[in-house]
Chains A and B, each alone.
Chain A
């Protein structure tokens, strides 16, 4: 079994500023992947960034980067130069075998 915890139900950030969303997880698997998905009001979930647990180097994708602390089972998402289009729900997820488990989400509001 695996669990994903997001302790920040809501966050806000000024446009062009940087924000960090927190996530902790627990899994008994040795091989697993971690994800951040974005869900705008349209409901369609979109992958933001992915991290292989066996890789020590933190993944980056343009303005999005992660801080992966394997021993602490922590996987935070940093959004730099926040844009109005970043306003959405953000879900942290952990995948092992055939199942991907999601957290409860963080609602991010980018303020102009």
Chain B
């Protein structure tokens, strides 16, 4: 597709459930980022992929959060045993190279609500 695609756009789940959020980056973009945006806040860095490998996962809040990008394109953010505090918009972005030098192209985000 022409832009970064994220699914689902909205997800409501119950506390303790498992959730997967998917990101399909712009074709040819090697760098892929996940950010979390809580209400009234700026995006908070979670993890960065360069190709298939996680180059920096220092933003993942705890071991309930995990992300993969097995073929260097689509990425999945996985959240186990969800908590109410996980409620936020999860943004995915991709870039041709590294985002610190180039433009980040964002998707519209997946809004996660944990009841």
Stretch in contact with the other chain, from A42-50, A63-71, A74-82:
A42-50
Docked-complex contact A45 and B41, CB < 8 angstroms: no
Chain B 1-54 interface residues, beta-carbon cutoff 8 Å to A = 31, 33, 35, 40-45, 48, 50
* Chain B residues within 8 Å of chain A by Cβ, number: 28
Stretch in contact with the other chain, from B61-69, B73-81, B103-111:
B103-111
Interface size range of chain A in the complex: 20 to 34
Docked-complex contact B55 and A44, CB < 8 angstroms: no
Alpha-carbon separation in the docked complex, A105 to B35 (Å): 15
Q: Give the residues in chain B near A103, CB-CB below 8 Å.
A: 42
Residue of A nearest to B109 (CB): A43
| Interface residue ranges, B against A (CB under 8 Å) | 31, 33, 35, 40-45, 48, 50, 55-56, 58-59, 89, 91, 93, 98-101, 103-104, 106-109
